Amino acid sequence: MRLILVALLIMSYGFLFSQNTKSYTCSRITQEPVIDGVLDEEVWKTGNWEGDFVQRQPIDNSKPSQETYFKLYYTDNCIYVAIKSMDTQADSIDSRLVRRDKQEGDMVAVHFDSYNDSRTSFSFFVNAAGVKSDVLFSNGGSNEDPNWNPIWWVKTTKDANGWYAEMKIPLSQLRFSKTGNKVWGFEVSRYIFRLQELSLWQPIPQTASGWVFNFGKLYGISDIKPKRIIELAPYVSGGFESFEKEEGNPYADGSNFIHGIGVDGKVGLTNDFILDFTINPDFGQVEADPSQVNLTAFEVYFEEQRPFFVEGGNILDFKITPGNHDAARDNLFYSRRVGRIPQYYPDLRDDEYIDFPIATSILGAMKISGKTKEGFSLGVMESLTKEQKAPIYYQGNEREQIVEPLTNYFVARAQQDINQGNTIIGGAITSTNRFYED
């Protein structure tokens, strides 16, 4: 079961809800705390803890059943967050060991609108067992990308008074402008599983339209600069698989060696835009898709989990059907078609054998994505997949059959936020070019 926490946070997109906006001032520190979930460092002992949460579910705008407190500090490189989740029934705290991004049990989260565009939130969740989850919200909160996986650290502990979370979030994982003192949208949330209770630091009533544009404000962060990102990750992979040998089939001799070589890279072009590129990528470490039986004439929709396509995916996402139903997945660009299983399967004689590829090789891909502080977003992606051939064996002779042509995929999207992010204008262009031999 995917926890209700994200579902409760997502609300319909509309006009700003009139309310009193809370603010929190973050201070700079020089001594970094140890991320162990034990809030015994001097930095956590000084100053006041922020609290005064308001319940949103199940009873809107009421006092929460349990108290919650938090503190934030920052350095040149990271933001540090401590959250105290007090509980008068500590033995009833729901601590579930689940896989990353599976939101179950008692949870807390911090949400940063570091663009301060009232549309985008970088959200960091952790449950009482220390399992972390991260979601990139866009379009005011109506779109979520759970496949966004930034690098950050968190530890939790529990005692007779409740449970505690200590976070370290690198500033390089957020996006923000270079100039001036920073003013960010900000929210802290807590979910108590046994009570199905969601409480927020900045109250957002159930009747409010939108999510991100109702955040409180985070002040005090200054004299920091976006980190210039330059990453290069070459790889060499190898593997061995064994299977049952098939008599007469030269492609099923009982074993197979797998190898590959390539490189991934990321370059910060400016403070706002990032170039990602990959040559002969290997996505073997990505979680496999769930098995499904498809008896329809339409392809099965799968979530994108490959890192290259996830980065900046919220900008390239251009849904053409409104709503939250299955049809709302209709999109001008579906990245899972890049590198998919070859689509042509030749007719074979009874005594013919084929070594059919399980995927189409991606020769290379490049993507530029980002958003300026003025609210202009741009995403451009170009990729090239290999002409894929399948060898066919027949009575001692072998031939090759093209099962997927050389293909170029292109998508570009630009949009501009206006009216404090309540309205956007923009457009998208896509093209797919397949090159067949004469």
pLDDT digits (tens, 9 = 90+) for 169-182: 999 888 887 666 68
Ranges 206-220, 295-309, 315-329, most confident: 206-220
DSSP state of 5: H
**Residue 69 scores a pLDDT above 80:** yes
The predicted pLDDT at position 180 comes to 62
Q: Where in the chain is the domain with CATH 2.60.40.1190?
A: 4-219
Confidence of residue 213 (pLDDT cuts 50, 70, 90): confident
CB 316, CB 429: distance < 8 Å: no
Burial code (b: 16+ CB inside 10 Å, e: under 16) for 7-44 equals: ebbbbebeebeeeeebebebeebeeebebebebebebb
Give me the chain's average pLDDT, please: 85
Is the pLDDT confidence value at 12 over 70?
A: no
Q: Residue 329 above 80 pLDDT?
A: no
Per-residue pLDDT, averaged over 187-214, amounts to 92
pLDDT higher than 90, residue 53 = yes
How sure is the predictor about 11, in pLDDT bands with cuts at 50, 70 and 90?
Answer: very low
Amino acid at residue number 181: N
The terminus-to-terminus CA distance of the chain in angstroms comes to 51
Phi, psi of 220 (to 5 degrees): 100, -20
- Is residue 379 exposed (0-12), middle (13-18) or buried (19+ Cβ within 10 Å)? buried
Among 6, 156, 163, CA closest to 92: 163
Q: What is the average pLDDT across 52-59?
A: 95
CA 126 to CA 157: how far, in whole Å?
12
User: Which of 168, 160, 165, 190 lies closest to 37 in space, CA to CA?
Assistant: 165
210/11 Cα distance (integer angstroms): 5
Amino acid identity, position 360? T
Kindly calculate the radius of gyration of the chain based on its CA atoms and give it in whole angstroms: 25
Rounded to the nearest 10°, the torsion over CA 118, 136, 10, 197 is -110
Checking if the pLDDT of 4 tops 80, the result is no
Candidate from 94-103, 223-232, 322-331 with smallest mean pLDDT: 322-331
The whole model's pTM is what?
0.70
d(CA 231, CA 264) in angstroms, rounded, equals 8
Q: How far apart are CA 317 and CA 313, in angstroms?
A: 6
Helix (H) or strand (E) holding 127, with range, is strand 121-127
Beta strand 197-200 with 54-57 is antiparallel
Tokens of 357: 């590829």
The tokens for 8 are 């409760």
By CB neighbour count within 10 A (0-12 exposed, 13-18 middle, 19+ buried), where does 192 fall? buried
- What tokens were used for 219? 């002040």
pLDDT digits (tens, 9 = 90+) for 136-192: 888 777 778 777 888 899 999 999 999 999 999 999 888 887 666 689 999 999 999
Q: What is the mean pLDDT of residues 258-286?
A: 82
Report whether pLDDT(310) > 80. Answer: no
pLDDT > 80? residue 66: yes
What's the confidence (pLDDT) of residue 3?
41
CATH code for residues 4-219: 2.60.40.1190
Give residue 52's pLDDT band: very low, low, confident or very high (50, 70, 90). Answer: very high
| H-helix segments, 373-430 | none
- Return the minimum-mean-pLDDT range out of 216-220, 288-292, 396-400: 288-292
Cβ atoms of 272 and 176 within 8 Å: the answer is no
Nearest C-alpha neighbor of 405 from the set 366, 365, 363, 367 = 363
pLDDT of residue 417: 81
Query: d(Cα 125, Cα 79) in Å, to the nearest integer?
Result: 15
Contact between residue 310 and residue 147 where contact means Cβ atoms under 8 Å apart: yes
- Nearest to 299, CA basis, from 321, 320, 329: 329
What is the pLDDT averaged over residues 196-212? 91
CA angle centred on 57, ends 53 and 63, rounded to 5°: 35
